[in-house]
Structure 1
Amino acid sequence: MILRPRPGVLTLFFVLRHSVIRKVWPMVLGVGVISTVIVTLHRTAPDWVPAVNPTPFSLLGIALSIFLGFRNSAAYDRWWEARKLLGAMVIGVREIGRATHILPDPGLRDWMLLHLVAWIRLVEHQLRGAEGPVALPVPMPARPIATRNPAEAMLQEIGERLATEAREGRLGEIAWVRLDESLGLLMNAQAACERIKATPVPFGYALLLHRTAHPYCFLLPFGFADLIGWLTPILSLLVAYAFFGLDALADEVEQPFGLEPNDLPLAAIARNIEIELQAARGITDLPEPLQPVDGLLN
């Protein structure tokens, strides 16, 4: 996630760091070059490049704008839902940290909180799609589901331990129900995050947008070369930057758990959750929260 002071009005026009212009500038520049060539040919050899009625381009531009707005809204909805789910995890962890004070056994309380530290590390690892082992403070539970979904296996381990304590009379029913509900909140939030990660925006939307927006931007100069003359390359550049830039931005935010500049700071949120859990254990030497590096917080 980009975290930086908002530049001034004039400075905004020249900001390159973390801007989508780094991704789309070759296509935008190509549109500008083609526009310049078309206007030049229209001025010097109008028989080769005749004037074209601009009305169809205006109508198609409106349709493309509506469609592009829909795709960006769908991508942002996924981003915002993912952020709310991560917030629900923070709430659930704080509730558990507070509720574990009613546990009669300090050892059980420490065991549970330490397993939740392992759980949030596994959640971060799975949502980011990272490879390699994860440093865990407790052993991985020996469960069949652990090979497919280690984070879920960790929550099941905690839930079964609490259920065993309740069955054997070492944990009151009210305390068990309260903790079990909080674990259910964490499991639901994790499952919803996995749904977002595993279900991208349908590929047909991106395909349709690329098949219409690119030809539109490259053909646009034909419709305005005669109408606005040498201003056509500037208009084409602005339209291309808007269309290609919004498309690139939607590609980033539709997968909110990635490492793109506009993705969610999953590692920072996971670190904050771990700090909450370690503080609930009574640990004083807590890890430091992650800080932005060059304006980016991961």
Structure 2
Amino acid sequence: MIVRDKPGFFRLFFIFRLSVMERIYPQLLFVMGLSALVVSGHLYKPDIIPSAAGAPFALIGIALSIFLGFRNNACYDRWWEARKLWGHLVAINRDLPRQTLLLEVRGPDAIKARLRLLYLSIIFTQKLVDHLRDGNTSTAALQRSLDEQDLKAIHSARNAPEHITYLMGETLAQLRQSNVISDIEFSMFDRTIGEISGVLTACERLRNTPVPFGYTLLLHRTAYLFCFLLPFGFADALGFATPLAAGVVAYAFFGLDALSEELEEPFGTSPNDLPIAAIATMIEIGLRNALGETDLQEPPQPQDFVLL
């Protein structure tokens, strides 16, 4: 996610890095170059390169802009839903240390179980990042809290975050079996773990269900064809100003198309994607602080205005 102060009015026009222009400038240059060739050819060889009426292009442009707006809204809804899910995960991990405080006064086994639950929650968030980004982060929390058997099971699991929720449930079941917690307390903890599992399921749904490809392909092709044919409709009316006008229109259409592609995959590592790794690190800092640890890492900071 891009993290920076809002630039001033004039500086806003000259920002290139981290803007969508980085991705689309080759297409813009092609459209403007093609426009210059069409205008020149129409001026000197009108019988070979004719012009067309501009009215149909205006109507098509309006319809295309509406369709692009719909797709952009659909992709932003995916991005915003993903952000709400990770916000909910932050809230859960702020409640869990408070809920487990009752274990601190119920003997050494209960204290050990609380430590295990909170560390498993730390590991869950880190492994969820790996699960959504196809990474493999090695966390210190794994070595601190789990025995060799659990470590091997997590590393070999096809779905590591899901397996971690099983381990958390197993810990709760042992506490209930030994009467360390009551039925009501077990239900409270189990509901919290269920919410954690719900976040995992919803994130998997977003990751594995993209915007329908046919819809994306249709708009992508239409936008390119419109921008490539646009100079023929403006050649008579605008003359050599056509490349500039075509470039502005192409910037809007290609920019919306490229931006919606980034928002469609909110868990990726593009500049406009969600900083889920940073959020997971903040969750770890919060949970370790709740455990009374003092050797906490520094909160993540953006690198070159980007926080991942």
Question: Shorter-chain TM-score: what band?
Answer: over 0.9
Letter in 2 for 1:2: I
Quick one: distance in 1 between partners of 2:36 and 2:250? 14
Quick one: distance in 1 between partners of 2:71 and 2:246? 22
* Native 8 Å contact 1:119 1:151 kept in 2: yes
Aligned residues: 298
TM-score, normalising length: structure 2: 0.92
In the alignment, does 2:276 pair up with 1:266? yes
In the alignment, does 2:130 pair up with 1:120? no
In the alignment, does 2:27 pair up with 1:27? yes
Match of 2:9 in 1: 9
In the alignment, does 2:240 pair up with 1:235? no
Percent identity (aligned): 47
Match of 1:111 in 2: 116
Letter in 2 for 1:122: K
Quick one: distance in 2 between partners of 1:244 and 1:161? 52
SS in 2 for 1:22: helix
Match of 2:18 in 1: 18
Report deviation, 1:237.
0.1
In structure 2, which of residues 273, 297, 304 is the aligned counterpart of residue 287 of structure 1? 297
Report which stretch shifted further, 213-222 or 146-155.
146-155
Quick one: distance in 2 between partners of 1:93 and 1:87? 10
Letter in 2 for 1:108: A
* Native 8 Å contact 1:124 1:266 kept in 2: yes
Match of 2:267 in 1: 257
* Native 8 Å contact 1:141 1:157 kept in 2: no
Match of 2:59 in 1: 59
In structure 1, which of residues 163, 169, 174 is the aligned counterpart of residue 173 of structure 2? 163
Report deviation, 1:174.
2.4
Quick one: distance in 2 between partners of 1:86 and 1:39? 52
Report which stretch shifted further, 97-106 or 136-145.
136-145
Quick one: distance in 2 between partners of 1:50 and 1:123? 57
Quick one: distance in 2 between partners of 1:287 and 1:216? 52
Quick one: distance in 1 between partners of 2:156 and 2:164? 8
SS in 2 for 1:14: coil
Quick one: distance in 1 between partners of 2:154 and 2:42? 69
Report deviation, 1:171.
1.2
Letter in 2 for 1:112: L
Report deviation, 1:50.
2.1
Report deviation, 1:172.
1.9
- Structure 2 unmatched runs, 5+: none
* Native 8 Å contact 2:126 2:137 kept in 1: no
Q: After TM superposition, list the pairs within 5 Å mapping 1:45-56 onto structure 2.
A: 45-56=45-56
- Structure 1 unmatched runs, 5+: none
Report deviation, 1:134.
5.8
Aligned pair in 2 of structure 1 residues 114, 243: CA closer, same or farther (>3 Å)? same
Q: After TM superposition, list the pairs within 5 Å mapping 1:174-185 onto structure 2.
A: 174-185=184-195
Aligned pair in 2 of structure 1 residues 183, 132: CA closer, same or farther (>3 Å)? closer
Aligned pair in 2 of structure 1 residues 235, 253: CA closer, same or farther (>3 Å)? same
Report deviation, 1:142.
6.6
SS in 1 for 2:226: helix
Report deviation, 1:146.
5.8
Aligned pair in 2 of structure 1 residues 144, 127: CA closer, same or farther (>3 Å)? closer
SS in 1 for 2:266: coil
Report which stretch shifted further, 73-82 or 97-106.
97-106
Match of 2:226 in 1: 216
Letter in 2 for 1:226: D
Report deviation, 1:43.
1.5
Quick one: distance in 2 between partners of 1:229 and 1:31? 15
Report deviation, 1:145.
11
Letter in 2 for 1:45: K
TM-score, normalising length: structure 1: 0.95
Aligned pair in 2 of structure 1 residues 175, 148: CA closer, same or farther (>3 Å)? same
Report deviation, 1:269.
0.2
Quick one: distance in 1 between partners of 2:161 and 2:151? 10
Match of 1:75 in 2: 75
SS in 2 for 1:19: coil
Quick one: distance in 1 between partners of 2:50 and 2:152? 73
Quick one: distance in 2 between partners of 1:132 and 1:291? 18
* Native 8 Å contact 1:76 1:250 kept in 2: yes
Aligned pair in 2 of structure 1 residues 191, 24: CA closer, same or farther (>3 Å)? same
Q: Deviations over 1:163-184 (max 9, x none)?
A: 2211321112222221111111
